[in-house]
């Protein structure tokens, strides 16, 4: 498992001009918002397709682990997860939510399912 310390030791953070290690969720949301290049319905579609595309890039890298029986490049997977996070944040901003709120919603939903013994199975509203 790769940690932030591993990335620091590899000099990964040296390529950035801001200190991403101390970025807060709120600060990251504002940073993402500053990078948005589309507006309105175009932004919604662009951000949604971006999210799906980046999730596909994660799957593609993991797929090669099976297909080629090679070592998984964990840093490259983490970079793609960062791209996924970018579009999740863009969509959260679009809908006026924030990452803390989304995390709270998810925790409440899954804790409720676990409490009711419904953590396994399928369906959005179980």
Report how far residue 77's alpha carbon sits from residue 118's, in angstroms, rounded to the nearest whole number.
30
The two three-digit tokens of residue 97, written as one number: 């939510």
Q: Based on the shown chain and the rule CB under 5 A, indicate whether residue 98 belongs to the binding site for Mg ion.
A: no
Closest CB 83 distance from Mg ion, rounded Å: 4
List of residues 6+ apart from 126 with CB closer than 8 A? 113, 118
Interface pick for Mg ion out of 83, 94, 102, 113 (rule CB under 5 A): 83
Q: Write the DSSP assignment of 78-99 as a string of letters.
A: HHHHHHHHHHHHHHHHHTT--H
Nearer to Mg ion, 80 or 91 (CB): 80
Q: Based on the shown chain and the rule CB under 5 A, indicate whether residue 61 belongs to the binding site for Mg ion.
A: no
Nearer to Mg ion, 36 or 110 (CB): 36
What residue ranges bind Mg ion (CB under 5 A)? Answer: 54, 57, 80, 83
């Amino acid at each position: 498992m790769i940690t932030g310390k591993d990335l620091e030791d590899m000099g990964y953070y040296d390529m950035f001009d801001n200190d991403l290690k101390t970025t807060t969720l709120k600060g990251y949301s504002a940073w993402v918002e500053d990078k948005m290049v589309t507006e309105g319905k175009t932004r919604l579609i662009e951000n949604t397709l971006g999210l799906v595309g980046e999730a596909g890039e994660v799957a593609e890298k993991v797929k090669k682990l099976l297909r080629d029986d090679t070592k998984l490049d964990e840093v490259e997977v983490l970079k793609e997860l960062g791209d996924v996070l970018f579009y999740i944040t863009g969509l959260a901003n679009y809908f006026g939510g924030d990452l803390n709120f989304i995390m709270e919603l998810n925790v409440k939903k899954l804790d409720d399912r676990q409490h009711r013994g419904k953590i396994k199975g399928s369906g959005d509203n179980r």
